[in-house]
Amino acid sequence: MSTLSQPTPRLGSLLLERGYLSAESLEKALERQLDGSRSKLLGEILVDQGICSEDQVVECLATEYGVPYAKLEARLYDPGVTEILAREYIEHNTVLPLFLVRDTLTVAVPEPSNLFLISEIGNLTRKHVQIVAASAK
Protein backbone atom coordinates (compact mmCIF):
# COMPACT_ATOMS: atom_id res chain seq x y z
CA MET A 1 0.00 0.00 0.00
CA SER A 2 3.03 2.27 0.24
CA THR A 3 5.42 3.32 -2.47
CA LEU A 4 9.05 3.08 -1.48
CA SER A 5 11.92 3.81 -3.79
CA GLN A 6 14.65 1.24 -4.11
CA PRO A 7 17.64 2.19 -1.99
CA THR A 8 20.22 4.31 -3.77
CA PRO A 9 23.27 5.32 -1.72
CA ARG A 10 23.89 3.02 1.23
CA LEU A 11 23.50 4.18 4.82
CA GLY A 12 27.22 4.13 5.61
CA SER A 13 28.07 6.15 2.50
CA LEU A 14 25.44 8.76 3.33
CA LEU A 15 26.61 9.12 6.93
CA LEU A 16 30.20 9.45 5.72
CA GLU A 17 29.27 11.93 2.98
CA ARG A 18 27.43 14.15 5.48
CA GLY A 19 30.35 14.13 7.91
CA TYR A 20 28.48 12.24 10.63
CA LEU A 21 31.30 9.71 11.00
CA SER A 22 34.83 8.96 9.80
CA ALA A 23 35.80 6.25 7.33
CA GLU A 24 37.62 4.47 10.17
CA SER A 25 34.52 4.50 12.40
CA LEU A 26 32.39 3.17 9.55
CA GLU A 27 34.86 0.38 8.82
CA LYS A 28 34.99 -0.65 12.49
CA ALA A 29 31.19 -0.64 12.76
CA LEU A 30 30.88 -2.75 9.60
CA GLU A 31 33.42 -5.23 10.99
CA ARG A 32 31.51 -5.39 14.25
CA GLN A 33 28.30 -6.00 12.30
CA LEU A 34 29.89 -8.98 10.51
CA ASP A 35 31.60 -10.36 13.63
CA GLY A 36 28.64 -10.03 15.99
CA SER A 37 26.90 -13.14 17.26
CA ARG A 38 23.59 -11.25 17.15
CA SER A 39 22.89 -9.63 13.85
CA LYS A 40 22.48 -5.91 14.37
CA LEU A 41 21.74 -3.25 11.81
CA LEU A 42 24.55 -0.83 11.02
CA GLY A 43 22.53 2.12 12.31
CA GLU A 44 21.91 0.35 15.63
CA ILE A 45 25.62 -0.31 16.08
CA LEU A 46 26.54 3.31 15.30
CA VAL A 47 23.94 4.67 17.75
CA ASP A 48 24.83 2.13 20.47
CA GLN A 49 28.51 3.10 20.20
CA GLY A 50 27.67 6.81 20.32
CA ILE A 51 29.24 7.41 16.91
CA CYS A 52 26.03 8.80 15.38
CA SER A 53 22.78 10.07 16.82
CA GLU A 54 19.52 8.31 16.10
CA ASP A 55 18.35 11.41 14.21
CA GLN A 56 21.42 11.29 11.94
CA VAL A 57 20.84 7.62 11.15
CA VAL A 58 17.11 8.04 10.48
CA GLU A 59 17.73 11.12 8.34
CA CYS A 60 20.11 9.10 6.14
CA LEU A 61 17.73 6.11 6.05
CA ALA A 62 15.05 8.47 4.74
CA THR A 63 17.38 9.55 1.95
CA GLU A 64 18.37 5.94 1.24
CA TYR A 65 14.75 4.87 0.84
CA GLY A 66 13.48 8.03 -0.84
CA VAL A 67 10.99 9.03 1.86
CA PRO A 68 10.62 12.34 3.69
CA TYR A 69 12.39 12.86 7.02
CA ALA A 70 10.63 14.67 9.86
CA LYS A 71 11.78 15.89 13.24
CA LEU A 72 8.66 15.26 15.27
CA GLU A 73 7.10 18.14 17.15
CA ALA A 74 3.70 18.33 18.84
CA ARG A 75 2.36 20.71 16.19
CA LEU A 76 3.32 18.32 13.38
CA TYR A 77 0.60 15.76 14.05
CA ASP A 78 -3.12 15.63 14.76
CA PRO A 79 -3.59 14.09 18.24
CA GLY A 80 -7.01 12.74 17.21
CA VAL A 81 -5.45 10.63 14.47
CA THR A 82 -3.36 8.61 16.91
CA GLU A 83 -6.55 6.82 17.94
CA ILE A 84 -6.65 5.07 14.55
CA LEU A 85 -4.18 2.52 15.98
CA ALA A 86 -4.22 0.99 19.45
CA ARG A 87 -1.84 2.67 21.88
CA GLU A 88 -0.14 -0.67 22.57
CA TYR A 89 0.47 -1.14 18.83
CA ILE A 90 1.95 2.35 18.51
CA GLU A 91 4.27 1.82 21.48
CA HIS A 92 5.28 -1.73 20.54
CA ASN A 93 6.10 -0.83 16.92
CA THR A 94 7.43 2.69 17.61
CA VAL A 95 5.16 4.32 15.04
CA LEU A 96 3.12 7.53 15.21
CA PRO A 97 0.10 8.29 13.02
CA LEU A 98 0.55 11.95 12.08
CA PHE A 99 -2.48 12.93 10.04
CA LEU A 100 -5.22 11.56 7.81
CA VAL A 101 -6.13 13.25 4.53
CA ARG A 102 -9.00 11.53 2.76
CA ASP A 103 -7.92 7.89 2.59
CA THR A 104 -4.19 8.48 3.13
CA LEU A 105 -2.73 8.01 6.59
CA THR A 106 0.72 9.53 7.12
CA VAL A 107 2.73 7.61 9.70
CA ALA A 108 6.15 8.34 11.22
CA VAL A 109 8.40 5.27 11.41
CA PRO A 110 12.04 4.93 12.51
CA GLU A 111 12.80 2.18 9.96
CA PRO A 112 11.43 3.02 6.49
CA SER A 113 12.56 -0.32 5.04
CA ASN A 114 10.12 -2.31 7.22
CA LEU A 115 7.63 -3.10 4.47
CA PHE A 116 5.81 -5.65 6.63
CA LEU A 117 5.00 -3.01 9.24
CA ILE A 118 3.83 -0.51 6.63
CA SER A 119 1.60 -3.13 5.02
CA GLU A 120 0.25 -4.20 8.41
CA ILE A 121 -0.70 -0.61 9.28
CA GLY A 122 -2.55 -0.37 5.96
CA ASN A 123 -4.42 -3.59 6.68
CA LEU A 124 -5.32 -2.55 10.23
CA THR A 125 -6.54 0.91 9.26
CA ARG A 126 -7.85 0.14 5.77
CA LYS A 127 -6.07 3.30 4.61
CA HIS A 128 -3.37 4.02 2.09
CA VAL A 129 -0.21 4.47 4.16
CA GLN A 130 2.36 7.15 3.43
CA ILE A 131 5.43 7.14 5.63
CA VAL A 132 7.90 9.67 6.87
CA ALA A 133 11.08 8.62 8.61
CA ALA A 134 11.46 9.96 12.14
CA SER A 135 13.54 9.16 15.19
CA ALA A 136 11.86 6.92 17.75
CA LYS A 137 12.53 9.50 20.48
pLDDT value at position 51? 96
What homologous superfamily does CATH list for 74-133?
Type II secretion system, protein E, N-terminal domain (3.30.300.160)
DSSP-derived pairing of the beta strands 96-101 and 104-109 = antiparallel
pTM (2 decimals)? 0.80
Query: End-to-end CA distance of the chain, in Å?
Result: 26
For 87, the 3-state DSSP assignment is: helix
DSSP string, 7-73: P-S-HHHHHHHTTSS-HHHHHHHHHHHHH-SS---HHHHHHHTTSS-HHHHHHHHHHHHT--B----
Q: What is the mean pLDDT of each run of 10 residues along the chain (137 residues)?
A: 56 95 94 79 93 95 93 83 94 95 96 94 97 89
pLDDT value at position 7? 46
pLDDT value at position 22? 96
Are 95 and 109 within 8 A, CB to CB?
A: yes
